[in-house]
Each structure stands twice: as C-alpha cells, then as structure tokens.
Amino acid sequence: MPRLPDPRTPASPAAPHELAARIDAVLTASAAGDGGRAEAGLARLLRRAFERGEDAGVGTMTDVLGGAAARMLDRALDAAIHGADDGGLIARVFLIPLVFVTAGRAPAEVQGALPDVAAIAGLMRRAGALGAVENFGLGNALGSLEAARAVPPQQLFGLARQWGADGGASLLAPAPIAVTDAEERAHLRFLAGASLTAADAPTFLETAGTVGRWGIAVSGAIHDQLAVEGLSLLALPRAPMPWFRALTEGAFLREEVTFNLFVTGALRRIRAETGEPDVVVSARDDGTVRVDMSSPFDPQIRHAHRWPLQAADDLARVEASILDLLRDCRVERVEVQEAVLPAEDMPAPGIGGLLRH
C-alpha cells in the first residue's frame, strides 16, 4: 500500500478547452470501469486534430497534467499517432531507451551517434526484438530526453504515414554524453526507429521478444562502437516503446539506475564505518522523493539522494522501486514519512565521505 503522499502540484489550464474536458471525462469513465472505450474516443479526437495539422491543445495540457491523467494522455497520443480508419500501412514510430553508466576517466565524452547502427538493428532483428516485425529501421543518433520531448505529436503522426520512413533518423540530433565525474553516473539517451506494419496488425509491443533475448548482445555491440579509452561504459537497453510512453519510462529507468548506484555506494561506506544505517524516505514540496541514510552512531555520517518526479511518473511505482531495493539490500530500519515535507538543502559535501546524488 503506497504511503508516500504526492508532492507534485499540477497547474490548471489557463483556459478551458475541449481536450481538458475530454481528459476529465476519460478519468471519470475509468473510475466507473469504462476507461478503455473513453480512452479510444480521446485517441480518435486527437487523430482527427492531427489530420487537420492541429495539436488539439496537447502543448498546453502536457505542462499541467500529472499522475494518472498524464499517463492516460500519453497512451492516447501513442494510439492516435498509429491509428487509422482504413487499416492501411503505418510506420509505427518508436523509441528505445538506453541508460548508460559511466565511471573512471573524467573529463571524457562519449559520441552521440552509433557508427554502425545497421549492426545493432541486425542483432535485434535476428533476436526477434520486435517480434514478427522485421521491416524496421533505426536512426543512429543517441538523442536526449529534452530533444525527444520537443518532437510535436503531429510530426510523429505525419511520419507514421510516410511509408518511406527513414527509421526516425531525422527526428533526433546526436547528443554526446559529457562525463564530468569519475564516479559511477547514469545518463539517458534514446534511439528512434520505425517499423512498417498494417494499422490493424498486432503491434511489436504484443509480439516482441524479451530484452533478455537480445539485450546483452546489443549492449556489447554499443559498447564496442562507443568505447573511450580509460572510461568504463555500460549500455542498458530497454524494449522498443511507443514514443510518449518511452519518454516516461526512460526517465524512470535513469532515476532507478541512479538510485541503485547511490544505495550500493552509501551502504558500502556506512556498513564499513559503523554498521547498519537508518533510512528515511520522504516526499518533498519541490516535487522530489528524498532518501536519507545515516549512521545511528555518528550523526556526521550522512548520505542523501533526490529522485525527481516526472509529470507522468507513477508514485506508487517509484516508492516500490525504492523500498524493494532497500529490502533486497537487507536494510531493516526504513521510515517512510506520510506527509509532504519542505525541501531542504543536501548535506554539505566532505562530511563522513558523503555521497549525494
């Protein structure tokens, strides 16, 4: 049962419009058990707007929605982009989230494009990464979260109807990874792609093979193409996903990996110095979840981490990820604050070998 309160405070739209009313109606229908049909109706509304070259107010709403409403709009956007009334061919545009973990040499830079993306696509194709779908392409640019978010849904809608799609190569610009710290750090990038299928055919989400079937091979190939002398580089690919779902999932995965790096480092230090830590998990009014680790025997030994919440993040999932990892690491003394607390400065560096992320 989730215990953390939601610290996010979504704003209200500047002025009421049709999309806001439809989103409210879908949420009401979902609460009554009829969300599927209402969500499909919202996707049709969005698709009609995209056909006219309009954004249907999406640009306004994405800045003010949060939680379940933001996730629902993401699903409707993805459905609208790939939907069609005539069952014709569609280029299903997708993103592959990639979390890179770097350590060692600093400063350093990892190039923002794959020199041989065809080799990566070949590995995925042979392993059935998109299931029965073999007609797909990948762009070679490793794009940033900010760049992927900036692509308008109506542009994706148009690309989905261009059968000569270039695998999304033109959608994202290369974003090199700047390594400024020798400690382990997580970085998020995306590969864009498109698969050509009938609009009424099962999507690759329904037929794709698990990441375990191709993830290790793809990770190794990416490392070989991007290797920098003296730099430890680990690529963690995730399954191809529709565009808007991938944005939220990618951001979540980056924060999950970052938290994992924090916990393992902080626990190792505290246990080596004084034994088992006390842990406090709290929601803060700056829209973050904060985890504080400290020694019950030495107040100067403190480590802190912030998990920034994205608009569409599922808070229950974030809380479960935090608590599950602490449980797996056999941390026994964990306190979850049930009220939103004021944001605080992180502990000053240099105290007790402090780790802060």
pLDDT band at 351 (very low <50, low <70, confident <90, very high): very low
The more confident residue out of 343 and 201 is 343
- pLDDT of 163 above 70: no
Q: What is the pLDDT of residue 208?
A: 65
pTM score: 0.91
On the question of pLDDT at 349 being above 60, the answer is: no
Sign of the alpha-carbon dihedral angle for 329, 335, 341, 345: negative
Q: What is the pLDDT of residues 263-302, one digit of tens each?
A: 999 999 999 999 999 999 999 999 999 999 999 999 889 9
Does residue 249 carry a pLDDT above 80? yes
Does residue 354 surpass a pLDDT of 80? no
63-112: pLDDT as tens digits = 678 888 889 999 999 999 988 766 677 888 899 999 999 999 999 999 99
**Using omega within 30 degrees of 0 as the cis cutoff, is the peptide bond preceding 107 cis?**
yes
Secondary element (H or E) of residue 253: helix 243-273
pLDDT of residue 350: 45
Q: How many CB atoms lie within 10 A of CB 122?
A: 12
Tell me the C-alpha distance between 155 and 304, whole Å: 41
Average pLDDT of the residues in 5-31:
78
Structure tokens at 345: 């400065």
Amino acid letter for position 238? R
How is residue 74 written in tokens? Answer: 């993401």
Residues of the chain above pLDDT 70, percent:
88
- For 120-145, give the secondary structure using H, E and C: HHHHHHHCCCCCCCCCEEECCECECH
Cα gap 186→321, rounded to integer Å: 17
Mean pLDDT of 232-252: 95
Chain mean pLDDT for the chain: 88
Residue 129 is predicted with a pLDDT of 77
Residue 83, helix vs strand vs coil: coil
Name the token pair of 246: 């991938």
